[in-house]
Structure formats: structure tokens, C-alpha cells
Chain A
Amino acid sequence: MSTLELSDVVVDYERRGGDRVRAVAGASLSVDTGQIVGLVGESGCGKSTLARAAVGLVPLAGGTVRFENRDVTPLTRRARPAELVRLQLVFQNPYSSLNPRRKISAQIADGLPAPSPARVAELCELVGLPASAQGRFPHEFSGGQRQRIAIARALAADPSVIVLDEPLASLDASAQAQLANLLVELTRELGLGLLLISHDLAIVRHVADSVSVMYLGVMVETGPTLPVWSLPLHPYSEALIGAVPHPDGTGFLPESLPGEVPDPARPPTGCRFHPRCPYAFERCSTEDPALVEITAGRAAACWLQPAGSEPAPPAERAANRAEPSGVTYRQEPPTDLLEEM
């Protein structure tokens, strides 16, 4: 049993007019201590909702979230159970998650079981803030430093798992590098477990031990980071990775993925990715593939990837797939349109 375990989590939102939107539609994920798990996907795929569900900020419509063998119960008017204090969340925007009118020392001390100026100083040092930071206010700091403050505040509770929702977005390259290194250090030194939600795949590739790829509320691929990167099994992971620009001066033009994440209130039939998938065939539009183990530690939810098979790129699998009628199911837009959308 992992430290944080999400099983078949379902989260519904209600739209004005009573429309039910299933933001997370049965997603599983686990985080162990000493491990960084990356969660990637386009905006609108449900990753932030899953992060909120992981710490009990939104009620579940199905499935379970277990932390240190206890159910994580949704937040109510009552105090959050004391045991859950070891499960922390760091928000994306350190400009709004810190109180502008309180000193840094006071905000970090909020997380401590008992006030202790020595511990506050220790935490500041741990995240690389100068000792003089304590007596100052959030507006006196840069974005990167504010995010360090937010992390120090989360660490004050002596957590075993921290969920970070886009912690590196809106930071400059250098601040991003500093913070990414800090996250790796904290994981290794304090034996923390991190769930790192990010749309920046290059950073996730660099720091995460394992990665989960999410599309329209479900996991489409999970596995150890580097193997997933070098040989993505799901067409969606392949598209995401192929879209990352390379800062190498070669003029490599990233691949685009046509279309956009559909409205979760009306998900496509069959495989949720099939309307955008370059390899889709008949079965994909009618039957939803389950996330199955392809090879040790790697799972994918794609009809092209049978359970227990040798890892092979989706294109290769698609080429080898016998075309029963000789007719391609998918209506191809003109190629120039396809490559640019």
C-alpha cells in the first residue's frame, strides 16, 4: 500500500443549469515516500481537479483516496482531521496563496504544531531563503522566492506527501531550475513523496521518477519517466512529448496535435482520445480501452497496445494491425491542416 493512494477516483462538478461535468472519470495514482510522481496532460484534462481530490478539497463521486492507510475525507465546516496534516498542497500561484499582510515568519509558523522561532529559521534555511526573510512581507519577494515560502509553510507540518499544482509555472528559467533542484533535494533528503502536476513536460522529465499521463479525466499511460519518454506507448503521450520544443538551436519544429480536449460533460464514445488520434480505428470509437500493464511497471490504455506485449511505438503497432476492410475509419483532414492545428 502506497503512502498516498487514489483508486478509481471520480469527481463531478455541476454546471449552471444542472449539467453534470465529470472532470475526473475513474483515475488511479499512487505516491510513495522518497518518490516524485509527475502528472501531465493538457489544460482541461482534469489534473488540477485530481490534485484537489487527492488532498480532500473536493468531494468524490466515486472511488477512494487513502493517505497513510486512512481515508482522505472531503473538507467540511469542521476542522480537517489532524492526521491529514501530513498531506500538504502547494498551489500554483504564490502571489495569491500567501497572505500579503502577514510576515513570512508568521505564515510559516502557522503550519507548526507549536510556535517555534528556531524551527521557522530552520525551514527558511532548508528551502534556501535568507534568515532576513522572516521579518518581511510577501511583496518583497520574487515569484521563485514566494514559491519557496509556500513550500516552507507546507514543510512546517512535517508532511510525508506534498501535492504541488503547477509550482513552476510563471517562473523564469533560472528560478524554475532552482526550485526544481530544491524539490529533488527535499525528496531525497527528507524522504518526501511528491505529486508534481505540471504542463511543462521537460521539467517533469527531468525531476520525476514516474509519470502519469492524463487525458479527459482518465489515465492513459503510466510508467517510469525515462522509458515513457524514450518510447511512449499511448498515442497521446507520444503527441505530448513530440510537441515539446527543443532548446538546441537545430530549428526542430515541434509536432502539433490537432483538435483540443473535448468538453468533459460530453466525452466521446469509446476511447476518449479517438477523435484526435492519428491511429484510431473502428474499435476505438465504440469500446473504451482499460489501463492495462503492457510490460513491467508500464501501463497504457490503448487498443493498439495489448497487455503483456513488447513495448513498441503506436505507429508500428498501427502499421502491423490488419485492416479488415481495407478502409480507414478516420476522416483525415487535409495534411497541411493536420500538421498545423
Chain B
Amino acid sequence: MSLLEVDGLSVRLATPRGAVTVVDGVDYAVEAGEVFGIAGESGSGKTMSMLALLGLLPDGAVVDGSARFEGRDLLRISRRQLRALSGNELAMVFQDPMTSLHPMLTVGRQLTEHVQLHLGVSRRGAEERATEILADVRIPDPASALRAYPHQFSGGMRQRIAIAIALACHPRLLIADEPTTALDVTVQAGILRLLDRLRREHELAVILITHDLGVMSSIADRVSIFYAGRVVESGPTARVIQRPRHPYTRSLLDALPHPEASQDKPLVAIGGSPPNPGAFPPGCTFHPRCSHLRESCRHEVPALVDVGDRLLACPVDPFVR
């Protein structure tokens, strides 16, 4: 059994204009020790599907489906049980460490509070654990870092601290939402190497949410491509990136400048823009932008089916070889 199994996850948000579906029947599974990538443009539902697992959705949101984590359904357990799990076995790292860290509390305070709570250790024990985990994420001089405030660190170091806080209680699953988007490439590379090592050394499963297929390609073992609230293609990263089969995955890759491509070839942009939640088209949500569409794409929602080396939600399958 997988560490996390998500089935038919749907999220509807309450807006002044009524309920809006932002995640529409998403399935995936994450194994221990793997980096599972979720890629997609903004508004594709990648973040909302994660917040749903952690019970962090805005008020009035309605969640359907199931998310089994170590035998428990995260969507059904009580708030208390979820609180006991999150920060402990389930942890999350957000895009901007400047807003996810408290500016007025020392790193030590932010790194020991939940350790005392979850691991049931003394203050001294928690401090020992904090020093250890800071060293593990390669913060120089961990002992003095504990007494410092977030603003005294650079962006990359702050993200390392956020990762340290997330990992302090030995979680089995780390959800990282665009953890390197706000960082320089040089610093990003360091964080990617860190995540890659942590999952090897600690058997940690990582869900990596990113819009950057380069980042995805460097450390994700498997990847799901989200579009307008649904998974359109899912499989081993090398297969999906090197031989994309969904028209959306393919156009997403064509839009990227490749480090070895010639300069004369213009980037191939996808016509139109991603639909807004609340205005998802009927049938295949990608059909208005797709150049391979058939009549049926306009009204039939394509199922995500096993096509051998991956899961694909496109009955046309124009790139099968």
C-alpha cells in the first residue's frame, strides 16, 4: 500500500458568486522515499489539492473523495487528529519563507515549540533536536542560528530553516509548495540537492508542487500534470517529460526555452490562457486550446486511464508512437 493514496479528490470553494470547483476528481498515490511532482500553471488546482489534505482550505470549502495516509482518511478524521498528524508525520513547506516564518520569534523558538509538543521531549531535548536538524539542512553554526531571527538570514537560508522546522519531528511525508520559486537558481540548486539527499537518507516522501518543469525534471521520480483542476497525465518523470503524450503536457514543454535549443526557433506558446476556476470548459478542460481535438472532447470528460507506461486523460492520444 502506498504512503498516501488520494482518490477522487474534489474541492469546491465558496465565493460571492457561488460554489466554484477548483479541484475536480484527482487521483494519485505517493510511495515512501519518492519525490512525487505535481506540475501545472497557476489556477490548475495544485496548491488547493494539497491544502485540502492538511485541512487548511478557506472557510466554506467543500471537499469530496478520500486521502488515505497510513490507513487513515485525512479528509474524514477530526481536526484534533489532523492537528496531531500535521507537523508530525505530515509537514509542509511553502513558497515564501519570509511569510511562513514568524519575524519576531527566534529560529530556536519556532523550531522547538512543535518538537516539544509532538515528540514529548523537554526544552533541552527539543533544543538538541533543533541543533541537529539545522546541521542536517546545512545551516552553518546551528547553535547561534537558534538565537537569531529570520531576517538575519538570506532567502536560501530561510528556506532551509523552514525545511528544518518541517522535518524536525521526523515526518514521513513532506509537502513542498513551490519551495524554490522565490530563490535564485544558484540557491535553488542547493535546495534541490538538499531535498534529494533528505529523501534518500530519511526515506522521506516528498510531494513537490511546482510550475517549473526543469525543477521537476531534476528530482521528481514521478509526476502528475494538472490542468484546470484535473490530472491530465501522470507517470515516471523521464517518460512524461521526454515523450509527453497529452497535448497539454507537450505544449507546456514546447513553451520552455531549452538549454540546448537554437535561438532562431521561437518558443511555441499555447494559444489562449488557462481557464479561471468557475469557468472551466465542459468536456476536456483543455479542449478550447487543443489543436488535436475531436467533437467528443467538447462534452465528454476524458477519464485518466492506464496506457501502459503512464496514465493519460486524452482519448485522442495524438502522440502515441
Query: Contact check: which of B138, B219, B237, B269 meets A340 at CB < 8 Å?
Result: B138
Assuming the contacts A226-B263, A249-B238, A340-B197, asked whether A174 and B187 have C-beta atoms less than 8 A apart, the reply is no
Given known A-B contacts A202-B259, A249-B217, A256-B186, A341 and B138 have beta carbons under 8 A apart: yes
Decide: B193 and A339 in contact? CB cutoff 8 A.
yes
Q: What 1/0 mask marks residues of chain B from 142 to 182 whose CB sits below 8 Å from any chain A CB?
A: 00000000000011110000000000000000000000000
Interfacial chain B residues near A66, Cβ < 8 Å: none
Smallest CB-CB A-B distances: 5 pairs: A249-B241, A245-B214, A256-B189, A206-B257, A177-B267
Contact B269 A178 (CB under 8 A): yes
B268 touches A172 (CB 8 A): no
Q: Are A181 and B269 in contact (CB under 8 A)?
A: yes
Q: A180-B267, A181-B266, A246-B259 are in contact. Are A252 and B218 (CB under 8 A)?
A: yes
Find residues 240-271 in chain B having any chain A CB closer than 8 Å to their own CB.
Answer: 240-242, 251-253, 255-259, 261, 263, 266-270
29 A–B pairs (Cβ distance < 8 Å), ordered by A: A42-B184, A42-B186, A42-B187, A43-B155, A173-B211, A173-B213, A173-B256, A174-B251, A174-B252, A174-B269, A174-B274, A176-B255, A203-B257, A245-B218, A246-B217, A249-B217, A249-B241, A249-B242, A250-B217, A251-B219, A251-B237, A253-B189, A254-B188, A256-B188, A256-B190, A260-B157, A337-B138, A340-B190, A341-B190
How many residue pairs link A and B with beta carbons under 8 A? The number is 156
Which residues in A have some Cβ–Cβ distance to B below 8 Å? 42-43, 142, 144-145, 172-178, 180-181, 184, 199, 201-203, 205-207, 225-226, 229, 239-240, 242-258, 260, 337, 339-341
Given A174-B273, A248-B217, A251-B217, 10 other A-B contacts at CB below 8 A?
A145-B273, A177-B270, A245-B189, A245-B217, A246-B259, A247-B253, A249-B242, A340-B194, A341-B138, A341-B190
Are A206 and B214 interface neighbours, CB within 8 A? no
Q: Classify the secondary structure of B's interface with A.
A: helix
Q: A42-B184, A206-B263, A246-B214 are in contact. Are A253 and B196 (CB under 8 A)?
A: yes
Cβ of B42 within 8 Å of any chain A Cβ, yes or no, is yes
What distance in Å separates the Cβ of B257 from its nearest Cβ neighbour in chain A?
4
B212 contacts partner chain A, Cβ-Cβ < 8 Å: yes
Chain B residue contacts of A339, Cβ below 8 A: 193
Contact indicator A206/B267 (Cβ below 8 Å): yes
Q: Chain A residues with Cβ under 8 A from B253's Cβ? A: 247
Task: Name the one of B154, B185, B267 contacting A240, with C-beta atoms under 8 angstroms.
Answer: B185
C-alpha spacing A296/B194, complex, angstroms: 40
Cβ-based interface call for B192 (8 A):
yes
In chain B, what residue has the closest Cβ to A145?
B273
**Chain B residue at smallest Cβ distance from A260:** B154
Contacts A42-B184, A260-B154; A202 near B257 (Cβ below 8 A): yes
Query: Which B residues lie within 8 Å of A176 (CB)?
Result: 255
- B38 in the interface (beta carbon within 8 A): no
Closest B residue to A230 by beta carbon equals B260
Which listed residue (B157, B196, B197, B238) contacts A250, Cβ 8 A? B238
Q: What is the bound-complex CA distance between A201 and B44, given in angstroms?
A: 26
Report the separation of the CA atoms of residues A180 and B217 in the bound assembly, to the nearest whole angstrom.
23
